[in-house]
Chain A
């Protein structure tokens, strides 16, 4: 096969940061080329250079063996290079077809009027080539994330892209949607499109990637064939060392005190009669497919969303939680899956984010803040949780995902919460930092905190949990002991409707370990 794109010795610096140094990539036509590396390794920067969003400082780009200059996204499009960003860039009120051809609408009547019919016909043609059943006249805002992504892909194809860059395309998709996406990727491959695929999920790479290029610390590490290279090898290339997998030794909590108990929680159709409990020192895993209602349960317990009915008990005493403030007062902390929107004030510094939930404690007479005390506490947690930051005055938006997560954890530790609810604690966090978060969760449990971990990654649930609660369509379909298998979890996670009700009677008793 011939090389479609060659990026040679690419260098790029931002003020004060060397983002890329001697980066390499060779993309063949008709291959899926995975680009891997920890967050901050330089993957996105390299791809933004290819897509014309950034300009390179050094190196050269060859397309079909000929050197090219790519100075703008428009130029990249003209050369047949399309990028699908992690955050989709669609206009929700416009239809799928209008989104695809925005700025290039077919005209009629001497260019004065839009030719809506041809617009829709053109879009339908692209959808057909993707084997995608979608009405081009559907407003994009009403589509699922997966469908919106398909529209983005269609948009990229409408430029006759021969190179397609996908940045973590499956982050928000469920298994069925991922399968649909992969089917489309396969068809594109067959047509000779070269695809650069950025992802953190190892199992996906094994399924679709032909070759893997690994980057670390802004540099090129190596390119290996995907099928023949063991996962451990790729991970050690990414982190620069070998990682040892640890399996949980599950402590016996049967006699520990029940800290949090939830009874008959209901909220519309998203939470249906959920009851559960967590004991001191226990990690309760929360598994289920996307949309099963796990985050909703966590938010309802925390008072972030209203609940229709249901009681919450702390140490056997009923607590009235209506707003997050009540939950925090009762000793419950919630770490959202979306740190940037719900967890951190990213424009503020590390110090202020650590003390955000406990600011009253650092307030003297007249509302005066005791900065020195705040600094001491922030410095202590930076040290204790090994948060990598130049100082406690660094703005948190400049830190990596793993370090941001640790800051949210520090915030709740400082608040001395007995119950910590982690919603997707390692989403967007690279492999090395994931391990650190796991260790931290285990240490917190050992200290006697009751922990709930919501995770969509089954290996993560299995690795961490002492018990596993599984949900499907708003119902708790069962609670499994820690040593459960992936198959058992998937069985409960897909248990729908009446069967779920029936099953719930028997399954919890098994896992509850009364």
Chain B
């Protein structure tokens, strides 16, 4: 008991999430083994890269959702916020013809602004997170359609835009390793967010709010401000996801987005983050997102009908949470 406490020098997530992470990681490995035995095509480099590329958008969104969930909240607006940010980038780059950098900045700022608004609804107006972000989900969905005139915005005028996700910085340095930038960005976002969660005051308050918000408030901490900050950070990460998906499609698709929040929350839950708040890790979420993509990819290679894939994913969620409950009961 004390050994694990002393070795976990930075992690403040409890032992449970550590154990769950191991379990989730083991399931991922087992899935990969099973699929590579079942089909020689699975372990092809091109297929691995396809899996990673497919994970990038959901992975980044899931990281955004993890932050809010650790505070004990929930964010249903991540999917439509992603689309909204993509549309904003389209407005800045295609409608106004601004340079690429400004489009990227606009998407991230739009995400942060929306997150700030959600956070304010939750912290200041005391609207339950489920309701506040449900409202935001619909507002953002509508705004995306209104702003874009319900038509996709293409980025043909901005040549470098597709490179954000599809280019390969690593591949240009190491020719044998054509890892797309989208995947690189996913890992960079994961590392940065993990660092913020484990090492900074914002991260510490994220956990503290989820653990016991009233105790934090009565310690003289401005809990509202920190909570809004967490939602804002989460929103700006959704902005990054918006850029990734727009870059991959070379367009902002205003009708897209709804439903993505559930995949993101699924990844978070499979990764061992508690929906009641106070514990969770980014690495867990990353593994959760990978499990979902590996499943989808492997089942497709095995020619399992797409309809069945969602049945399997749903079962995995229930299984993952149940094993967590089982282990906690034993302790």
Contacts and interface: CB of A to CB of B under 8 A. Distances in A.
A415 to B, nearest CB: 7
Interface residues of A, number: 40
A307 B5 CA distance: 43
B219 A411 contact: yes
A363 B204 CA distance: 11
Given A329-B220, A369-B204, A390-B2, A395 B14 contact: yes
Interface in B262-301: 278-279
B212 A341 contact: yes
Interface of B is mostly: helix
B61 to A, nearest CB: 24
B221 A357 contact: yes
B8 A356 contact: no
A334 B218 contact: yes
Contact of A390 (B1, B214, B221): B1
Given A16-B1, A393-B5, A395-B14, A325 B222 contact: yes
A336 B216 CA distance: 12
Contacts of A363: 200-201
A325 B330 CA distance: 41
23 contacts: A15-B330, A304-B218, A327-B220, A344-B212, A345-B207, A345-B212, A345-B215, A345-B216, A348-B208, A348-B211, A349-B5, A352-B12, A359-B204, A363-B200, A366-B200, A367-B202, A369-B200, A371-B10, A393-B2, A393-B6, A393-B8, A394-B5, A415-B220
Contacts of B10: 371
A72 to B, nearest CB: 15
Given A327-B220, A359-B204, 11 more contacts: A323-B217, A328-B220, A334-B218, A345-B212, A348-B278, A349-B5, A357-B220, A359-B205, A368-B200, A394-B2, A415-B220
Interface in B197-240: 199-202, 204-205, 207-208, 211-212, 214-222
Contacts of A302: 218
Nearest to B5: A393
Contacts of A327: 220
A117 to B, nearest CB: 39
A351 B6 CA distance: 12
A143 interface: no
Given A325-B221, A328-B220, A367-B202, A343 B215 contact: yes
A347 B5 contact: no
A391 interface: yes
Nearest to B207: A348
Q: What 8 A-B pairs come out closest when comparing CB atoms?
A: A328-B220, A345-B211, A357-B219, A393-B5, A367-B200, A390-B2, A345-B212, A347-B211
A508 interface: no
Nearest to A392: B5
Interface string B1-43: 1100110111010100000000000000000000000000000
Contacts of A360: 201
B331 interface: yes
Contacts of A368: 199-201
A352 B204 contact: yes
Interface in A392-431: 393-395, 411, 415
A296 to B, nearest CB: 15
Contacts of B207: 345, 348
A92 B202 CA distance: 38
Given A347-B211, A390-B1, A391-B6, A359 B217 contact: no
A352 B218 CA distance: 15
B298 to A, nearest CB: 36
A481 to B, nearest CB: 32
B126 to A, nearest CB: 14
A362 B201 CA distance: 9
A15 B331 contact: yes
Nearest to B205: A359
B201 to A, nearest CB: 4
A391 B5 CA distance: 8
Interface string A162-200: 000000000000000000000000000000000000000
Contact of B216 (A323, A329, A356, A415): A356
Contacts of B214: 341-342
Contacts of B202: 367
B278 A347 contact: yes
Contacts of A432: none
A347 B222 contact: no
A349 B216 contact: no
Contacts of B5: 349, 390-391, 393-394
A511 interface: no
A222 interface: no
Q: Which of B212, B220, B221 has the most CB of A within 10 A?
A: B220
